[in-house]
Amino acid sequence: MSDLWPALPLNEWKDTYATLHMWTQIVGKVRLKKTPLWNHWWNVTLYVSPRGLTTSKIPSENGSFEIEFDFIEHKLLIRISNGQTKVLELKPRSVADFYMELMATLKVSGIDVKIRAIPDEVADPIPFAKDQIHKSYDPEYANRLFRILLQVDKVFKEFQSKFIGKSSPVHFFWGSFDLAVTRFSGKRAPKREGADALTREAYSHEVISAGWWPGSGVIQAPAFYCYAAPAPGGLDQSRVRPASAYYNKEMGEFVLLYDEVREARSPENVIYEFVQTAYEAAANLAGWDRSSLER
């Protein structure tokens, strides 16, 4: 089981995590710049591929291209519709070095793109071109991350398949560094006064979202989560399964630690049970029309 569900202790790979976070932001911002806005910023995300994380096809001036993090051979691949493939090495190197080489490679490949070269959703952001602090890359932990994402992606897609209402793809948000899937009730959400444009678009409609991330903030360990926005009254008092899952009031989310899952006889069943019971608790309290939204 450990090959499919490897350990990922945050304190052992936090420097690689921080560097990868910045690298995925750079690649994600390329996709953001080159694609039209899609529901709730779905056009900016990355997707789990058989080898890592990919942008999927991005339109360009003379065709299209794709950027993929290969966490098996540890390369960044830029595949272009004219037949070219450009390769950058994934190795210990600064964010500034990665940024400059990627942008130069895109330029000589005929892909014209200028991004907002400052990270999002992190404290004290350092412009990419000046970031010499984040420069760690441990291939073992990058591969462990990939193997976890590969398994979680399968479970989330099974969960997604049971919902016939509006639903997001299973996708990776580089801002918050999490793999997520989101269901919608079909109703507009109350306006969030004072919210920025990103938040207003992301939460313009009622949602219940489930995901996995390596840990940050109040949860210093990899974990699964599920939340509703807006959260219905009484959600914090709801019980979900398995018994080790709990409602974190500071986050306003149900949480299930990854280490509880990876030790189970069937991690897939435990994850599914968690996201399903958390969804049911939120949807029932919020009065979603489940008979119309579910298979």
Report the pLDDT averaged over residues 257-278: 97
- Report pLDDT digits (tens) over 133-144: 999 999 999 999
- Report pLDDT digits (tens) over 49-78: 999 999 999 999 889 999 999 999 999 999
Where do the domains of the chain lie? Answer: 10-130, 150-293
Q: Tell me the percentage of the chain whose pLDDT exceeds 70.
A: 99
Residue keyed to tokens 């069937």: 266
- Report pLDDT digits (tens) over 8-43: 999 999 999 999 999 999 999 999 999 999 999 999
Whole-angstrom Cα distance, residue 95 to residue 55? 19
Task: Give the 3-state secondary structure of residue 169.
Answer: coil
- 181 burial via Cβ count (<10 Å: 0-12, 13-18, 19+): buried
- Report pLDDT digits (tens) over 142-186: 999 999 999 999 999 999 999 999 999 999 999 999 999 999 999
pLDDT at 193: 85
Whole-angstrom Cα distance, residue 81 to residue 63? 6
Instruction: Count the neighbouring beta carbons within 10 Å of the beta carbon of residue 225.
Output: 23
DSSP of 109-165: TT-------S-SSSSS---GGG--S-----HHHHHHHHHHHHHHHHHHHHHHHTB-S
pLDDT at 100: 98
Angle between helix 10-34 and helix 139-161 axes, rounded to 10 deg: 60
Whole-angstrom Cα distance, residue 45 to residue 174? 7
The pTM of this model reads 0.96
Whole-angstrom Cα distance, residue 44 to residue 42? 5
More confident residue, 201 or 270: 270
pLDDT grade for 2, boundaries at 50, 70 and 90: low
